[in-house]
Amino acid sequence: MIDLARISPPNRCCNTLLVARLDNAEAIAAIHGEDGLRAAMAHLAGAIERNLNPVRFHKAERDRMTLLAHAAMLEPDFVCAQIEALGMQLCLDPLVHGAGRILLSVSIGHSDPVPGVLGEDLSAALAAACARLERLAAPGHTASLHLANEASAQMLARYRDDMARAERLLGQIARGETFFAWRPIFDPRHPDRLFQHEALLRYAGERGEQFDCTAAYAALERLGMAHLLDRNLVLRVLDALEADPHAHLSIAISPQSLSFDLGGADAAWTDVLARLERRPELAERLVLEFPESAACRFWPGTLTFLNTLRELGVGLGLYGFGSGHASVRQLAVLRPDQVKLDSAFLRTALLSERNRARVGRLALEARTLCRTVILTGAETPAQIRLAAEEGAEWIAGARLGRVGTRRVWSAPDRAAQDRIPRARTASAPSALETVATEPARFRPLSWPLAAQSPVF
């Protein structure tokens, strides 16, 4: 029994009934057998017990467990914030099984505050917690069930490889081995006229060379766990905005992350929202980007998520436009503030007149969605000239601009800023110059304190 009077004053405490679900239970069982699944559930129970104090377990099933936890009532959304922190901690604590390490994808349903203990009738609270859990469309849950139903030797091998890549990337971040490189978006006619910088996740090789994390991030997406990384990276971009008052920064996140219900009902992005509400000037200089494919299948709460961020002042960007995943009508529902054309169109534009005409046509189509259109894939002087001739105001390319871990700004040109929203003038070198930066300059990324601390 949990003795509330002993823990804190009776008017400042409550019990919350939780139902924790292992979303990738079926995938674990398909690869590691029922023994592996039992080990995963035991590991999950142990992690919950270490992070929740006090806690009482009520019932354990094949892929979920019911428990009663205690929390101080500090503010109305306190329980949701703590459930998010708990879910992050559980997902970032891999199970060591055999020769590998397994990430556990966990969702948590919770009841409203309840009096009493597990010996009493808490059926109403249990029903409410289960209802909140079942309405969560966890991508990891969907991926796990698909793997279990359609399992083949090839799919199982890929799942194992994805798990190894994803766990390695999250470990690199936890150890501070990753950093941001910043890619500028600039005017093709005037390379010193910058619009904003994109945040690109990198890690350093033994000789200081930069390697991107694209393959490992794609593995996280296939596992349905991209949100574990996205929320951390957005917090780090906010750190960069806070440290540099001249910066306008963007970062791409997965469509899977466009929801406030990632770890539980209303238990996602709580720390990011709180920070944006406290510092609205940061929101005005932040752009969150998502792919065109996000319009093809809205996860529950996607539009609520996007509209909430827009109301807070965050810019929304759409990338990969023209890749054929969605229609203009579908994309118009998302109301992006800026659109990036798929890089393949500019890279192949010089191969034929038909390819070149397609660039201009897509740019005009993109302008029906928003005012700001960015051409990506500009990597040669000829491609830069073509972009300028097609009327592109802003371009970006993997091999162009000052791609490095430092952003250098000159004193802002007030007249230019009045003409160009969100733009800054930078003391950057030629658009064709690429800079390698030593690892000593890297500001490593780490997990937020909320994901490292015990909760409740």
Over the stretch 316-373, which tens digit does the pLDDT of each residue have? 999 999 887 777 888 888 889 999 999 889 888 888 888 898 888 888 889 888 989 9
Residue 143 shares a structural domain with residue 265: no
Instruction: Give me the number of domains the chain comprises.
Output: 2
Is the pTM value of this prediction over 0.75?
yes
| Residue bearing tokens 């289960």 | 130
pLDDT value at residue 200: 94
The larger pLDDT score, comparing residue 428 to residue 335, is at 335
Cα–Cα distances (Å) from 281 to 269, 312, 393, 409, in that order, read: 18, 10, 25, 18
CA–CA gap between residue 302 and residue 256 (Å, rounded)? 9
| Residue bearing tokens 């979920």 | 64
Residue 80 shares a structural domain with residue 146: yes
Does 396 score more than 70 pLDDT?
yes
Q: Which residues are registered as beta bridge partners of 60?
A: 65
pLDDT value at residue 121: 64
Residue 427 shares a structural domain with residue 321: yes
Residue 158 lies in a domain: no
Tell me which residue range forms the domain holding 422. 176-450
Q: Is residue 272 classed exposed, middle or buried when 0-12, 13-18 and 19+ CB atoms within 10 A define those classes?
A: buried
Residue 77 shares a structural domain with residue 184: no
The larger pLDDT score, comparing residue 444 to residue 361, is at 361
Does 256 score more than 80 pLDDT?
yes
Residue 138 shares a structural domain with residue 195: no
Peptide bond into 94 cis (omega under 30): no
pLDDT band for 399, please (50, 70, 90 cuts).
low
CA–CA gap between residue 340 and residue 289 (Å, rounded)? 9
Query: Mean pLDDT score of the chain, rounded to an integer?
Result: 80
Contact 322, 341 (CB under 8 A): yes
Contact 182, 416 (CB under 8 A): no
Residue 169 lies in a domain: no
Name the least confident of 6-15, 186-195, 216-225, 433-442. 433-442
Q: CB pairs under 8 A, 24+ apart, for 265-269?
A: 265/80, 265/109, 265/110, 265/132, 265/133, 265/135, 265/136, 266/77, 266/80, 267/80, 267/81, 267/83, 267/84, 267/87, 267/108, 267/110, 268/84, 268/227, 268/231, 269/84, 269/231, 269/305
Residue 340 shares a structural domain with residue 218: yes
pLDDT value at residue 271: 93
CA–CA gap between residue 184 and residue 186 (Å, rounded)? 6
Residue 161 lies in a domain: no
pLDDT band for 112, please (50, 70, 90 cuts).
confident
Residue 164 lies in a domain: no
pLDDT value at residue 131: 81
What percentage of the chain's residues is helix, strand, coil (to nearest 5)? 45, 20, 35
Q: CB pairs under 8 A, 24+ apart, for 297-303?
A: 297/255, 299/137, 299/139, 299/255, 299/256, 299/258, 299/259, 300/135, 300/136, 300/137, 300/259, 300/261, 301/258, 301/259, 301/260, 301/261, 302/255, 302/258, 302/259, 303/333, 303/334
pLDDT value at residue 145: 55
The larger pLDDT score, comparing residue 433 to residue 15, is at 15
The larger pLDDT score, comparing residue 7 to residue 125, is at 125
Does 47 score more than 50 pLDDT?
yes
Residue 45 shares a structural domain with residue 193: no
Does 55 score more than 50 pLDDT?
yes
3-class state of residue 91 by DSSP: helix
pLDDT (mean) for 439-447? 42
pLDDT (mean) for 404-419? 45
pLDDT value at residue 420: 43
CA–CA gap between residue 23 and residue 437 (Å, rounded)? 40
pLDDT band for 113, please (50, 70, 90 cuts).
confident
Residue 248 lies in a domain: yes
pLDDT (mean) for 133-143? 64
Does 415 score more than 70 pLDDT?
no
| Residue bearing tokens 């009482």 | 56
Residue 353 lies in a domain: yes
- Provide the token pair at 324: 């054929």
pLDDT value at residue 425: 42
Residue 143's Cβ-side half-sphere holds a number of Cα atoms within 13 Å equal to 23
Residue 362 shares a structural domain with residue 310: yes
Count CB atoms within 10 A of the CB of residue 60. 15
Residue 72 shares a structural domain with residue 185: no
DSSP code for 349: G
Report the percentage of the chain scoring pLDDT > 90.
42
pLDDT value at residue 314: 97
Name the least confident of 218-232, 256-270, 404-418, 421-435. 421-435
